[in-house]
Structures are given as structure tokens and as C-alpha cells.
A and B are shown apart, each in its own frame.
Chain A
């Protein structure tokens, strides 16, 4: 069965956690003991109804404050698909946790409160989802019960969003009017909104077409681990283990190894569940080659006529996530890109992105927590990479503060501006 990863994003209190609770509840994916537990907590707090957000807001502090602080992961399945849900926090202070949840999903649900419409945090999250290259987007105008299920409100918010989003790089966008609290259009069609003719949210999640989202053209295999058994029964085995980041590897393919540029032929592909003839994006495999080349972790296997770019001077969009120190150009950080770890200096902040207006602010030389900017960087070793839009896996990296170990920045590599 197919698996879909999705995240809920949007401003604080717009109903993300409640929506997840509703989807789980209406699809009968809540267990009795979980329900008893949240019923008891809601009752103890004197709520009028069972607070479904308690299903994902599992930390003590979250329950005390009634907000989501960190991503919660939830799982459910219908006969059509199984789902991995990341319920992200909406509060600006926890943006880095939102990015954590949204970085590798197939689809993001952006919630908007029907009473407030598009607000700053809606824009911030939409921008982030667009930068992260999330392939599918569903804009849920929530709390329709509080605006009399009025079509005019829905249309107005839809226009508002479309106007803002026209300047973003969003591919597949769907709009849905819902009430997470009352359940309208979540799993069953709403009787309160006859004017809406589209499908329910669950129906959409079950049917959204994702098969073409992977890059199956450009073969990329970052070597993660070299397997050399010290065993008498496998004297000559030397396998290169890793996860296919793009394209297809087939037995018999001629391949090139970077950075050395040496070539060889694939003689076998092993996998955790047995030998394969070919391996596709996402598969964890071990590649065997005809020749004994010197290959180590951090090298990249590709095709001789289709190589990633190799450079030490790079350009990227960078989200800063460290609350203890701003990004400092010139300071040395550690950088992790695919399976390679190197050191790096940010050489220049080309501009900072104004999240509300999407304008480019120049003349800044720092990025504070939650700020996003376009930067140039210099690394101690060449990276073998693709533009993030071509390949999310070979186009992304993280920056780590060497002193504290904190994951301080998340970057998306781009073609240098000409």
C-alpha cells in the first residue's frame, strides 16, 4: 500500500491539531484508551466538548499552554493509503520545529482561520512550504462554523491567498472549506456547505497523485557506508551502501564516482530484503562494482554523462534556526550535505527575505533566528550537489554550530545568480 507523508501548518490556534484529531476520530483510528484519556482530561479542565487537539499535544507544557510546541507524529491507514502525519506548531517561536515536520512531506495542509483570513504567520508558513519544495498543498479555510458557512468568506480568503501565493513557487494547490471542530468536509461531506462541490479532505489525501514527485532521471547515489566483511566466506566483497537520491541504478549500468571521476560498471545490487536488478529513489541498497576503486563515505555515484555539480563556492537560501546566536558571516561552522561532512564559512548575506512582503532586503549581514536569506558560502571540501528544485536530497544541507552542536541552519542549494 502506498504511504503519504503530510504535515499540518498555519498560524497558532488555526486548528491544526484539532484537524488531525478529527481525521483520526472520523476514520476510526483512535483507540479507546486514547479517547478515554482525552475525555477525562477535557472533563477535568471543564471543556464543553472533547478537545481533539489533546490527541497530538502530548507534552505536559503543551497541555498547560494549550498550544503545540513540537511536531507530533501520528499514523493512520485507510484501505487506500497509509498516512504519516506531522502535526506542526503554529507559534513563531517554534518555527524550526515546523520546518522539521514539513521538510520531507509529500503534502502540506495550510490552515487558515475563516475569521481572520491570511495573516503574517500564514504567509510565513506558506513561504517556508514553498521554499522546502513541498509538492502538494491543500489550503483549508477552517472554522467555517464560526462564519455561518458563508461562501463569500471562503472565496474572499481564497483570493487573498492566491494573490499572495502568485509570488511563491507553489505547484499543486487545492482549496477546501472545513470545520475541524464540527467535522465538515474532513472525512464526510458537509451538509452545511452545499455550495462547495469539491471532495472531502480525506478523499483528497487518498487520491492525490504523487508517483511523479521523485526525480527518476538524474542518477545520484551518495555513498553512506562501505561494507567490507572481515570474513573468510566473503573475501572479496566490497559494497557501497547508501540510499538512492535520484534516478535509477541498474545492474550493468556504467557509473562514475565523484569526486575522483573514475568509472566502473554495476555488477550487483544488494538490499535489506535481497538482491535487486534495479534500485529507485528512496531505496537503501548496497552497490557492487566491477573494479576495485577507492571509494569512501561522502563520495557520489552517478552516470558519466549526467553528473551533479561540484563546487566549493555555493549559493543557497538559508533558514536560521539557532536561538542562541545569529548567523555570523566569516564564522566557521560544520556543514552536512548528503553523507558528507565538511566545514564552511558564510561569505555573504546577499539579501534577507521580508516574510510579509516577500521583498529582498539588502545591506544586512546577519540572520537572526527564524530569518531567511540568500547567502553565498565557501566549503573546505567540494560538495556534489544539484539545485534544490531538481533534487531535494542532493540540494539540501544543514549547518551545525561546532561549539554547541546545535543544528543552526537549514539550506537549499540554488544555481548561482547570473
Chain B
């Protein structure tokens, strides 16, 4: 069967195999979010019937949607991959970072420290990320094989040329590469794949009813880690999540889309980008993502 995804799947699978061939210790970042789920499925398909020749890692802020953590654990056991958890709580307990406090505190930025420490601890030299270039303007600029110096830093003004799909992963001790096999996928492509190949996702990607309060026009879910802001009104609303990240900075969107087909229809006519609609962290500044990426963020 030929589909619109053919060229994309071929490209992604080729990238994943290339990393397995050229790097000593790759790892795939797996949060249970839809992009990382698609990436893991592609990795399974890249090596089938052999097993995926690298582990997966979750950088866990401890502030999760329960449904996502349950899904994460079920998914890795079904796929037969090893899960490593890098814990932000452990970084806090060991004094590497200070926990954030205050009314709008989010541990999201703290993940960078835990991520870099986990990479160093396990001596990973290639780290697969599910980021897509259509998500955000700094990501639109990044190479598929993206070099990180020994401080984990990205230098956007001095990226290596990357031609013809020949990837250069040469690096020195202590440096590593971030690898983005889904670079050329759009949100719609991701959902098309999920629909065509019947990919299981955490339930919160589909419409459900939950307590919601509004913050800066975004719909925030009330959880154990996110009490409603003072003065805000909590309503039970029908929502779904377009992205799934740390529960304190990921917003929901109002939606009644209960199936993949519904979501594809909604995505095709969406007027707001995925991150614009749902990520408090991206609203901070004009170059928020670029600045975070420079210091080693996903």
C-alpha cells in the first residue's frame, strides 16, 4: 500500500539505522507523548524481526499525567525495550538543582540538568528526540544529526553542513549528538501514521471530561501538582491534549474529537500551532526555545 507517509517513514527508518550502525551507545527519549511513541514504533520497524538495539529513557519531572505514566510502562514492556528513568526529583534531592516554587512554578526547565546528567552517567553518545521542525521556529533550523559539545550545548550559528542524507556523527569524547528522525514530519503526518497503523496512545490525547481552569487563555488541567490559580474558576470541560509534557505547563484544547479520524479532521483545519495552543513554556519569550536548546534542552 502506498501512502503519503512513504517517503517520511523511509527517511526516518534510515536515520535510525544509521545511528545504530555508527554510534556506540544510542538512547531514545521516550515520554509516552505521541511523537516519541511514533518514533519508538519506527525504531521497532527499523530492526524487525530483531529487537531494538538500544534502550529508551524518560526524563521524569515527577509531575506527570497518571494516564501517561501507565501508558509508558505498558508500552515499553509490550515492545520489549529497556526503560531508563532520569529523575528530576533525584536531581533536586542531590542538590544539583533547586526545586521551583511559587504560584506558576514548573519543573520543565529543570529537565535539562537531569537530561545532561543522565546522558553523562550512561555515556550515551546519540540521543534520539521526537522533535519536529514544524513545531517551533528554532527547531525549524536544526539538523537531523545535531552536534552537542561537552557541555551539552547547541551552537545554532555554527551547525555542521548536512548534505544528501549523508550524516556525519563524528564527535570527541564527552560530546554527543541529538538525532531527530521525525524532523520532516508534521502534526498531521503523525496523526495519519497513528491512524493508519493503529498506534495506541495515552487516553488523554482523545476527548474526555476533566476539571479545567483558565490561565492566560490556556486550558490547564487540575492535577495533584497543579492546583487551580487563586481566583480562577474550575469547570468540567470536554478537552483533549495536543501535546503531552510536564503536567504543570501543558495545556489542553477544547475538543470533542474522540477518535483518530476526528483528530485528523480537526488537525487539518487547526488555526493555531500545537505548541502555541498548549505550551506555557513557549510563550515566555521570542527565543525561548532557542535559548533552552542552546543549553541542552530536548
Co-complex (A, B): yes
Binary interface encoding of chain A residues 34-72 relative to chain B, with 1 for a CB under 8 A from any of its CBs, else 0: 100100010000000000000110111101000001111
Complex CA gap A32/B271 in Å reads: 6
The answer to the question of B104 belonging to the interface, with a C-beta cut-off of 8 Å to chain A, is no
Q: Are B4 and A229 in contact (CB under 8 A)?
A: no
Complex CA gap A66/B173 in Å reads: 37
The answer to the question of A123 belonging to the interface, with a C-beta cut-off of 8 Å to chain B, is no
Complex CA gap A283/B8 in Å reads: 10
Chain A residues positioned under 8 Å from B20 (CB to CB): 225
Q: How far does the Cβ of B106 sit from chain A's closest Cβ, in whole Å?
A: 20
Q: Are A73 and B50 in contact (CB under 8 A)?
A: no
Q: Are B13 and A339 in contact (CB under 8 A)?
A: no
Closest to A396 in B: B164
Complex CA gap A32/B1 in Å reads: 35
Q: Which of A357-413 contact B (CB under 8 A)?
A: 392-393, 396-398, 400, 402, 405-407, 410
Chain A residues positioned under 8 Å from B156 (CB to CB): 59, 61, 69-70
Chain A residues positioned under 8 Å from B159 (CB to CB): 70, 97
Closest to B50 in A: A229
Q: Are B184 and A73 in contact (CB under 8 A)?
A: yes
Chain B residues positioned under 8 Å from A418 (CB to CB): none
Complex CA gap A1/B268 in Å reads: 15
Binary interface encoding of chain B residues 24-55 relative to chain A, with 1 for a CB under 8 A from any of its CBs, else 0: 00000000000000000010011111110000
Whether A283 contacts B6 in the complex (CB less than 8 A), given A33-B273, A69-B157, comes out as yes
Q: Are B4 and A405 in contact (CB under 8 A)?
A: no
Q: How far does the Cβ of A391 sit from chain B's closest Cβ, in whole Å?
A: 11
Q: Which of A12-36 contact B (CB under 8 A)?
A: 31-34
The answer to the question of A331 belonging to the interface, with a C-beta cut-off of 8 Å to chain B, is no
Q: How far does the Cβ of A68 sit from chain B's closest Cβ, in whole Å?
A: 10
Contact residue among A1, A55, A70 (Cβ-Cβ distance under 8 Å from B141): A70
Q: Are B10 and A243 in contact (CB under 8 A)?
A: yes
Chain B residues positioned under 8 Å from A231 (CB to CB): 49-51
The segment out of A99-107, A189-197, A255-263, A309-317 that lies at the interface is: A99-107
Q: Which of B29-83 contact A (CB under 8 A)?
A: 42, 45-51
Q: How far does the Cβ of A87 sit from chain B's closest Cβ, in whole Å?
A: 9
Q: Are B161 and A34 in contact (CB under 8 A)?
A: no
Chain A residues positioned under 8 Å from B233 (CB to CB): none
Chain A residues positioned under 8 Å from B10 (CB to CB): 243, 272, 282-284
Q: Are B171 and A405 in contact (CB under 8 A)?
A: yes
Q: Are A31 and B168 in contact (CB under 8 A)?
A: no
The answer to the question of B105 belonging to the interface, with a C-beta cut-off of 8 Å to chain A, is no
The answer to the question of B160 belonging to the interface, with a C-beta cut-off of 8 Å to chain A, is yes
Q: Are B18 and A224 in contact (CB under 8 A)?
A: yes
Q: Are A31 and B276 in contact (CB under 8 A)?
A: yes
Q: Are B14 and A224 in contact (CB under 8 A)?
A: yes
Contact residue among A41, A100, A230, A270 (Cβ-Cβ distance under 8 Å from B163): A100
Q: How far does the Cβ of B79 sit from chain A's closest Cβ, in whole Å?
A: 14
Please report the total number of A residues contacting B with Cβ < 8 Å: 68
Complex CA gap A7/B131 in Å reads: 22
Complex CA gap A289/B208 in Å reads: 50
Q: Are A405 and B172 in contact (CB under 8 A)?
A: yes
Q: Are B163 and A103 in contact (CB under 8 A)?
A: yes
Complex CA gap A37/B282 in Å reads: 12
Q: Are B163 and A104 in contact (CB under 8 A)?
A: yes
Whether A34 contacts B276 in the complex (CB less than 8 A), given A97-B159, A284-B13, comes out as yes
Chain B residues positioned under 8 Å from A32 (CB to CB): 271-272, 276
Q: Are B4 and A3 in contact (CB under 8 A)?
A: yes
Closest to B46 in A: A272
Chain B residues positioned under 8 Å from A225 (CB to CB): 17, 20-21, 47
Q: Are B184 and A392 in contact (CB under 8 A)?
A: no
Q: Which of B218-239 contact A (CB under 8 A)?
A: none
The answer to the question of A273 belonging to the interface, with a C-beta cut-off of 8 Å to chain B, is yes
Q: Which of the listed residues B13, B49, B161, B272 has the most CB atoms from chain A within 10 Å of its own CB?
A: B161
Q: How far does the Cβ of A225 sit from chain B's closest Cβ, in whole Å?
A: 4
Q: How far does the Cβ of A58 sit from chain B's closest Cβ, in whole Å?
A: 3
Q: How far does the Cβ of A108 sit from chain B's closest Cβ, in whole Å?
A: 14
Contact residue among B6, B137, B160, B183 (Cβ-Cβ distance under 8 Å from A406): B160
Chain A residues positioned under 8 Å from B273 (CB to CB): 31, 33-34
Q: Are A230 and B50 in contact (CB under 8 A)?
A: yes
Q: Are B45 and A273 in contact (CB under 8 A)?
A: yes
Complex CA gap A61/B294 in Å reads: 13
Q: Are B276 and A33 in contact (CB under 8 A)?
A: yes
Complex CA gap A75/B42 in Å reads: 21
Q: How far does the Cβ of B292 sit from chain A's closest Cβ, in whole Å?
A: 12
Q: Are B276 and A243 in contact (CB under 8 A)?
A: no
Q: Are A31 and B140 in contact (CB under 8 A)?
A: no
Complex CA gap A338/B276 in Å reads: 39
Q: Which of the listed residues B11, B47, B170 has the most CB atoms from chain A within 10 Å of its own CB?
A: B170
Chain A residues positioned under 8 Å from B276 (CB to CB): 31-34
Chain B residues positioned under 8 Å from A56 (CB to CB): 137, 140
Q: How far does the Cβ of B69 sit from chain A's closest Cβ, in whole Å?
A: 28
Closest to B138 in A: A58
Q: Are A41 and B184 in contact (CB under 8 A)?
A: no
Whether A228 contacts B50 in the complex (CB less than 8 A), given A31-B271, A59-B290, comes out as yes
Q: Are B13 and A272 in contact (CB under 8 A)?
A: yes
Chain A residues positioned under 8 Å from B286 (CB to CB): 37, 41, 60, 63
Q: List 21 A-B contacts (CB under 8 A).
A: A32-B276, A58-B140, A58-B290, A59-B141, A59-B287, A70-B157, A74-B133, A75-B134, A97-B161, A230-B50, A241-B47, A272-B9, A272-B46, A282-B10, A284-B10, A284-B14, A339-B18, A392-B164, A393-B164, A400-B170, A407-B163
A-B interface, 9 closest residue pairs, ranked by CB to CB distance from nearest = A58-B137, A33-B276, A272-B45, A229-B50, A103-B163, A405-B170, A284-B10, A284-B13, A96-B161
Known: A59-B287, A82-B4, A397-B166. 9 other contacts (CB 8 A): A59-B157, A96-B161, A224-B18, A231-B49, A272-B13, A338-B166, A406-B160, A407-B160, A410-B161
